[in-house]
C-alpha cells in the first residue's frame, strides 16, 4: 500500500491540529449559539483568533490527511502530473525554489507588483489618476470589445454543446477521466467562483433594487425593480461569465492533450506560434499577464473577503477590528491555502472543494427552508423569464455609467480571472469530451450560480421590500461597503445564528478554494518549462498573495490594484477571440467526422420501441 502524505512532520502537524480544531470549535459554537456561556471569557480580537483557529485547523487537517493506495501527484500520469508539486524537505525549499524559476515569468510580475506599491506610497495621487485614466479607456471606450467578446464566447459554447466538435475526447479515444464527475464539478466551480458569490449574493440584487439600470425604466425600490434586480444578478453571474473561462480553458486543454503543448496560458497561441514557439517573447508576455492578473485579482479578493468576515464577526459580537485584525485574518488564510496548495490536487484542493460544495448545499437548503419561499419562487420565475427573453439586449447594451460600472466591469473581471481558472479547468479535463467540459464549465456552474442568486438575492429583496430588514441602510451606515449586506438579512430570519455561522464558514472556504488553486497555477507558470514547482515555490507565491492583500488593507490602493488587475481582462478578451479563431481552424483541419448531439440522439432513439416504430424498415435491414 502506498501512502502519500505520511511523513513524520505531517503526522506531528495532524496530531496537533485535531485537538486545536476540537477545542476552538467548542468555543466558537458556544459563542454563536450560547453567547452567555463564553461571552465574558473571550472578547474582542479573541473571537477572530478563535474563529480562524477553528476553520483553519479543520481545513488544514483535512488537507494533510494521507492518501492511501494512490501514487503521489508527481508520479501519476495525466492531469495530476501536469498539476504536480515536487515535495522537498524544508531545508531545501530555498535552493529548490531558486533553481527552477523562469527569470521572465517569475521576475517581471514580482517587480511590477513591487513598483506598484512603491509608487502608491510615494505618489498616491498620481497612481490613482493613472489607474483612473486606464479605467476610463477600458470601461468606456473599449466597452464594445468586452460585450462583443463575451457574447461570442456564449455563442461558441452553445455551438460546442450541440455541434460535432463536442464529441472530441481530450487525450484521445482511450483516455479516461482522472476524477469522478462530482469531484470534477466541485473543483471547477469552487476554483472559479471564489468568495465573490458569497460577497455579492445578497448585495448585488439589493444594489440594483436601490438603483435600477436606466434602460429598465423602473422606479427604485418598487415591485418591478425586484425582478429587474434579480435578472441582472443572474446575467452578471450566469452563462456569460462562465463562458469567459471556457474559451480560454478549452483551447489550453485541447492543444495540451491532443498536440503535446505545455500546460501554460500561452498554449492558446499554439495554432499561430507552434508548440516550439511557446518559449518565445510573445508567449512569455501572455504568461506574465496571466500571473499579474491572478495575483492582483486573488489578493484583492482576499482583502475584500477579509473585510466581509470581519464585518460578520463585528456584527455578531459587537467588536471592532483595526489593522491587527485584518493582518491576523489574512495570515490565517495564507497558512490554510498554502497548506492546501502544497498538499496537491488529490488531497487538499480536492477535499476542501468537496467541503465547500457540501456547505454551499447545506446553507442553500437551510435558507430555502426558513426564508420567504413564495416570494423567492415568484420573483425567481419572473427574473429567469426576463433573463432568457432579454439576454441578447442585455448582452449588447452599452453606453452610460451604469453599463460601464456593472456589466463591462464584470466582464473584464471574469476575463482577468480566465487565465488561472481556465488553465485549472484544462488540467482537470483530460479524458472528458468537449461537450462534457462545456456543460460542466458553463451550464452546470451557471446553474449553481443562478440558484444561489435567486435564493439569496430573492430573500434579501423580500425582507428589504417588506421592511422586515433594511440591508441598504446598513450598507450606507457602513460607508457603502457591500460586506455588511447579508448580515441584517440573516438576523431577520429564524435560525439566524446558524445561518450566520455557515455564511462565515462559506466565506473562508470559498476564498481558500480559489487561493489554493491560484497559488498552484501561478507556481506552475513561474517555474521553468518541464519542471514541477517545489514546496518553496508554493510557499513563496502563497505568501506573496497574502502580502499584497495586507498591503491593500493597510497601505491602501485596493481599488487601484483591483482596477489594474481587472484591466488585464482587456488583453485576455482579445486573446480569447484569437484563441477561438485558432481552435476553430484546427478543428476544421483535424477533427472531421464527429457526430453532433442530434446524431447521438438519433442513434439512441433508434434503439427504442418508438424509434423502431418510426423506422419500420430498420428491423428488416438488421435481419438482412
Tell me the three-class secondary structure of 545-558, residue by residue. Answer: HHHHHHHHHHCCCH
Can you give the pLDDT at residue 303? 77
pLDDT band for 427, please (50, 70, 90 cuts).
very high
Closest among 83, 447, 417, 437 to 250, alpha carbons compared: 437
Q: Which residue has the higher pLDDT, 425 or 560?
A: 425
pLDDT band for 73, please (50, 70, 90 cuts).
very low
Can you give the pLDDT at residue 245? 95
pLDDT band for 74, please (50, 70, 90 cuts).
very low
Beta carbons of 50 and 30 less than 8 angstroms apart = no
User: Does residue 143 lie within any of the structural domains?
Assistant: yes
Residue 187 has pLDDT above 90, yes or no: yes
The residues with which 534 forms a beta bridge, in sequence order, are 86
Mean pLDDT for the stretch of residues 593-605: 70
Residue 610 has pLDDT above 80, yes or no: no
The number of beta carbons lying within 10 Å of the beta carbon of residue 591 is: 16
For residue 438, the domain's CATH number is: 1.20.1740
Can you give the pLDDT at residue 318? 65
Q: Which residue has the higher pLDDT, 299 or 222?
A: 222
Q: Which residue has the higher pLDDT, 72 or 430?
A: 430
**67 membership: H or E segment, kind and range:** strand 67-68
CA distance 579 to 471: 43
User: Does residue 115 lie within any of the structural domains?
Assistant: yes
Q: Which residue has the higher pLDDT, 132 or 20?
A: 20
Mean pLDDT for the stretch of residues 386-410: 90
Residues in Cβ contact with 547 at an 8 Å cutoff, skipping those fewer than 6 apart: none
Half-sphere exposure (CA, 13 Å, Cβ side) for 532? Answer: 18
The residues with which 101 forms a beta bridge, in sequence order, are 527
Residue 456 has pLDDT above 60, yes or no: yes
Range of the domain at 490: 70-593
Q: Which residue has the higher pLDDT, 464 or 561?
A: 464
Can you give the pLDDT at residue 44? 57
Can you give the pLDDT at residue 622? 41
Three-state DSSP at 426 gives helix
Mean pLDDT for the stretch of residues 125-149: 80
Can you give the pLDDT at residue 133? 78
**513 membership: H or E segment, kind and range:** helix 496-526
pLDDT band for 620, please (50, 70, 90 cuts).
very low
Mean pLDDT lowest among 103-117, 170-184, 224-238, 549-563: 549-563
pLDDT band for 562, please (50, 70, 90 cuts).
low
Residue 618 has pLDDT above 70, yes or no: no
Three-state DSSP at 391 gives helix
CA distances in angstroms from 500 to 194, 294, 314, 513, 611, listed in the order given: 19, 29, 12, 20, 53
Mean pLDDT for the stretch of residues 313-323: 64
How does 299-338 read in b/e, with b if 16+ C-beta sit within 10 Å?
Answer: bbbbbbbbbbbbbbbbbbbebebeeebbbbbbbbbbbbbb
CA distance 187 to 520: 13
Can you give the pLDDT at residue 388? 95
Mean pLDDT for the stretch of residues 578-595: 88
The residues with which 86 forms a beta bridge, in sequence order, are 534
Mean pLDDT for the stretch of residues 540-558: 78
> Which cell numbers in the block locate residue 66?
494521507
pLDDT band for 362, please (50, 70, 90 cuts).
very high
CA distances in angstroms from 117 to 128, 129, 136, 288, 292, listed in the order given: 12, 15, 21, 18, 14
Can you give the pLDDT at residue 8? 67
Mean pLDDT lowest among 29-38, 213-222, 299-308: 29-38
CA distances in angstroms from 175 to 262, 266, 276, 297, 426, listed in the order given: 18, 24, 25, 34, 14
Residues counted in the chain: 624
User: Does residue 37 lie within any of the structural domains?
Assistant: no
Beta carbons of 220 and 236 less than 8 angstroms apart = no
Rounded to the nearest integer, the mean pLDDT of the chain is 83
CA dihedral sign, ordered 99, 565, 423, 343:
positive
Beta carbons of 384 and 234 less than 8 angstroms apart = yes
Can you give the pLDDT at residue 1? 33
Residue 211 has pLDDT above 50, yes or no: yes
Can you give the pLDDT at residue 556? 58
Mean pLDDT for the stretch of residues 342-359: 91
Beta carbons of 209 and 221 less than 8 angstroms apart = yes
> Which cell numbers in the block locate residue 561?
490594484
pLDDT band for 36, please (50, 70, 90 cuts).
low
Share of the chain above pLDDT 70, in %: 84
- For residues 241, 521, 504 and 319, what is the CA-based torsion angle, rounded to 10 degrees? -120
Mean pLDDT for the stretch of residues 81-107: 74
Within 315-377, strands assigned E span: none
Q: Which residue has the higher pLDDT, 430 or 399?
A: 430
User: Does residue 23 lie within any of the structural domains?
Assistant: no
Can you give the pLDDT at residue 81? 54
The listed range with the strongest mean pLDDT (31-35, 115-119, 199-203) is 199-203
Closest among 517, 530, 539 to 94, alpha carbons compared: 539
CA dihedral sign, ordered 213, 199, 450, 492:
negative
Can you give the pLDDT at residue 606? 66
pLDDT band for 43, please (50, 70, 90 cuts).
low
CA distance 328 to 200: 24
Three-state DSSP at 351 gives helix
CA distances in angstroms from 596 to 175, 250, 600, 601, listed in the order given: 21, 18, 6, 9
CA distance 258 to 611: 36
Q: Which residue has the higher pLDDT, 334 or 121?
A: 334
Can you give the pLDDT at residue 619? 47
User: Does residue 541 lie within any of the structural domains?
Assistant: yes
pLDDT band for 614, please (50, 70, 90 cuts).
low
CA distance 480 to 483: 9
CA distance 255 to 270: 7
Mean pLDDT for the stretch of residues 183-187: 95
Beta carbons of 88 and 96 less than 8 angstroms apart = yes
Can you give the pLDDT at residue 321? 61
User: Does residue 452 lie within any of the structural domains?
Assistant: yes
Can you give the pLDDT at residue 298? 82
Share of the chain above pLDDT 90, in %: 37
Beta carbons of 218 and 225 less than 8 angstroms apart = yes
N-term to C-term CA, the chain: 54
Can you give the pLDDT at residue 238? 94
Can you give the pLDDT at residue 305? 75
pLDDT band for 624, please (50, 70, 90 cuts).
very low
Can you give the pLDDT at residue 75? 42
How many domains in the chain? 1
User: Does residue 17 lie within any of the structural domains?
Assistant: no
User: Does residue 616 lie within any of the structural domains?
Assistant: no
Amino acid at each position: 500500500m502506498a501512502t502519500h502524505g505520511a511523513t513524520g512532520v505531517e503526522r506531528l502537524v495532524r496530531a496537533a491540529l485535531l485537538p486545536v480544531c476540537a477545542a476552538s470549535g467548542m468555543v466558537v459554537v458556544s459563542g454563536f449559539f450560547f453567547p452567555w456561556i463564553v461571552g465574558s471569557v473571550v472578547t474582542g480580537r479573541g473571537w477572530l483568533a478563535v474563529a480562524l483557529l477553528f476553520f483553519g485547523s479543520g481545513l488544514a487537517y483535512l488537507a494533510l490527511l494521507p492518501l492511501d493506495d494512490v501514487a503521489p501527484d508527481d508520479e501519476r500520469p495525466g492531469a495530476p502530473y501536469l498539476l504536480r508539486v515536487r515535495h522537498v524537505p524544508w531545508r531545501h525549499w530555498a535552493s529548490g525554489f531558486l533553481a527552477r524559476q523562469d527569470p521572465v515569468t517569475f521576475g517581471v510580475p514580482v517587480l511590477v507588483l513591487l513598483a506598484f506599491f512603491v509608487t502608491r506610497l510615494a505618489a498616491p495621487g498620481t497612481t490613482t489618476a493613472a489607474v483612473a485614466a486606464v479605467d476610463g479607456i477600458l470601461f468606456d471606450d473599449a466597452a464594445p470589445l468586452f460585450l462583443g467578446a463575451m457574447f461570442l464566447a456564449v455563442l461558441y459554447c452553445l455551438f460546442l454543446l450541440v455541434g460535432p466538435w463536442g464529441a472530441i475526447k481530450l487525450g484521445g479515444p482511450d483516455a479516461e477521466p482522472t476524477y469522478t464527475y462530482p469531484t470534477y464539478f466541485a473543483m471547477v466551480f469552487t476554483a472559479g467562483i471564489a468568495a465573490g458569490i458569497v460577497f455579492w449574493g445578497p448585495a448585488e440584487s439589493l444594489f440594483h433594487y436601490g438603483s435600477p439600470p436606466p434602460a429598465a425604466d423602473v422606479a427604485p425600490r418598487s415591485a418591478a425593480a425586484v425582478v429587474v434586480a434579480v435578472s441582472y444578478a443572474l446575467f452578471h453571474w450566469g452563462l456569460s461569465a462562465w463562458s469567459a473561462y471556457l474559451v480560454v480553458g478549452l483551447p489550453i486543454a485541447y492543444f495540451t492533450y491532443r498536440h503535446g503543448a505545455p500546460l501554460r496560458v500561452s498554449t492558446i497561441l499554439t495554432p499561430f506560434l507552434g508548440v516550439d514557439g511557446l518559449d518565445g517573447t510573445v508567449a512569455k508576455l501572455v504568461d506574465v499577464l496571466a500571473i499579474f492578473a491572478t495575483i492582483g485579482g486573488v489578493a484583492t479578493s482576499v482583502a475584500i473577503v477579509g473585510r466581509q468576515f470581519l464585518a460578520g464577526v463585528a456584527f455578531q459580537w459587537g467588536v471592532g477590528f483595526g489593522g491587527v485584525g485584518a493582518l491576523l485574518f489574512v495570515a490565517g488564510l495564507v497558512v490554510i491555502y498554502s497548506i492546501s496548495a502544497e498538499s496537491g490536487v488529490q488531497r487538499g484542493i480536492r477535499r476542501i472543494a468537496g467541503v465547500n460544495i457540501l456547505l454551499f448545499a447545506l446553507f442553500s437548503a437551510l435558507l430555502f427552508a426558513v426564508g420567504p419561499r413564495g416570494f423567492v419562487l415568484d420573483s425567481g420565475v419572473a427574473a429567469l423569464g426576463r433573463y432568457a427573453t432579454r439576454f441578447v439586449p442585455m448582452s449588447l447594451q452599452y453606453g452610460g455609467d451604469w453599463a460601464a460600472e456593472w456589466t463591462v466591469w464584470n466582464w473584464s473581471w471574469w476575463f482577468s480571472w480566465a487565465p488561472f481558472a481556465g488553465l485549472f479547468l484544462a488540467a482537470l479535463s483530460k479524458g472528458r469530451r468537449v461537450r462534457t467540459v462545456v456543460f460542466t464549465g458553463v451550464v452546470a456552474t451557471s446553474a449553481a450560480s443562478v440558484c444561489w442568486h435567486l435564493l439569496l438575492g430573492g430573500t434579501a429583496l423580500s425582507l428589504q421590500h417588506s421592511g422586515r430588514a433594511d440591508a441598504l441602510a446598513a450598507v450606507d451606515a457602513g460607508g457603502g461597503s457591500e460586506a455588511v449586506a447579508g448580515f441584517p438579512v440573516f438576523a431577520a430570519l429564524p435560525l439566524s445564528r446558524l445561518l450566520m455561522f455557515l455564511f462565515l464558514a462559506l466565506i473562508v472556504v470559498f476564498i481558500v478554494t480559489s487561493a489554493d488553486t491560484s497559488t498552484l497555477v501561478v507556481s506552475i507558470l513561474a517555474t521553468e518549462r518541464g519542471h514541477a514547482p517545489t514546496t518553496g515555490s508554493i510557499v513563496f507565491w502563497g505568501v506573496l498573495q497574502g502580502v499584497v492583500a495586507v498591503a491593500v488593507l493597510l497601505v491602501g490602493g485596493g481599488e487601484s490594484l483591483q482596477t489594474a488587475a481587472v484591466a488585464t481582462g482587456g488583453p485576455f478578451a482579445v486573446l480569447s477571440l484569437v484563441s477561438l479563431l485558432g481552435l476553430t481552424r484546427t478543428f476544421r483541419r483535424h477533427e472531421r467526422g464527429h457526430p453532433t448531439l442530434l446524431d447521438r440522439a438519433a442513434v439512441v432513439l433508434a434503439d427504442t420501441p418508438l424509434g423502431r416504430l418510426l423506422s419500420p424498415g430498420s428491423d428488416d435491414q438488421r435481419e438482412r
